[in-house]
Structure 1
Amino acid sequence: MFLAIVAAAIAGASPAIAQDREQVKLVFEHALPNVEGKRMAAVLVSYPPGSKSLPHRHAASAFIYAYVLSGAIRSQVGDDPAQVFRTGEGFYETPGSHHRVSENASDTESASLLAVFVVDSKDGALTIPDKDAAPR
């Protein structure tokens, strides 16, 4: 559902705003047959040059592994320092983590990552923007 909302928001936004924000596409989702009550989902997150995500959390049960497919992604999870991950590198988020920074580290090159979630089947939205995060 979140992905549909994001897609609708991007489609209805002006071109200047759409370029400032990441694009999210669900590429895989399936129940885990050997782990009752869990599912796996994968999303492709594409960042135009200079774009970023709003600060957010993920579904409370979500364990996430993110793999950088292209470019460089700056990420800060919780109180850890921000780090830049480049093509071929990855990072993870434990359940309940707060993703404070997620952005393209370049103002001139695009970047993308594949985020793989293992999450409770009953959890709906994979990503929940912070309530106080102001949309641009």
Structure 2
Amino acid sequence: MTIRSVIAATGAAIAIAIAMPAAAHDLGETVTPHFEKAIPNISGKTLSALIVDYQPGGASLPHDHAKSAFIFAYVLSGEIESKVNDGPTETFRAGESWYEAPGSAHLVSRNASKTKPAKLLAVIVHDSGEKDITTPHE
């Protein structure tokens, strides 16, 4: 699994090649592959990291995560609103974090501010052969 397909959706299908510059989306977000490495002591697993920059008022489209993808999200700056599965919509500030269990539906992911940018680090442990880590929510 390469980072090319890790983001196959913070909404639409947006496969990203590692050699490409940051990808901009029409919802006011930019997803940048940051790191990817097979985990040497866990056969068949890869760790990937992505930076998600949200413009003021920016958002990701609702999306589902692969059954192999465990996600740790950490707010680097600003405030991010997030809703996973049937949980409440919560606001996380810089320095705060949450996780998403494998197979989760990420129904809300957006900048809580209409005037300031926000930035998120997503760290994902997934099957090395997984084709689509994220797909549009149906």
The C-alpha deviation readout for 1:20-43, integer Å capped at 9, x for no partner, is: 331111100000000000000000
- The corresponding residue for 1:63 is 70
Larger radius of gyration: 1
Write the mapping of 1:42-121 to structure 2, written as runs, cut at 5 A: 42-121=49-128
TM, length-normalised to structure 1: 0.84
Is the 1:53–1:101 contact (alpha carbons within 8 Å) kept by the matching residues of 2?
A: yes
Cα distance, 1:59 vs. partner?
2.0
Tell me how far apart the structure 2 counterparts of residues 33 and 63 of structure 1 sit (CA, whole Å): 17
Q: Which runs of 4+ in 1 moved over 2 A?
A: 1-8
Aligned length: 124
Structure 1 spans left out of the alignment, 5+ residues: 12-16, 132-136
- The corresponding residue for 2:36 is 29
RMSD across aligned positions (CA): 1.9
TM, length-normalised to structure 2: 0.83
Q: 1:123 to 1:6 in 2, by over 3 A?
A: closer
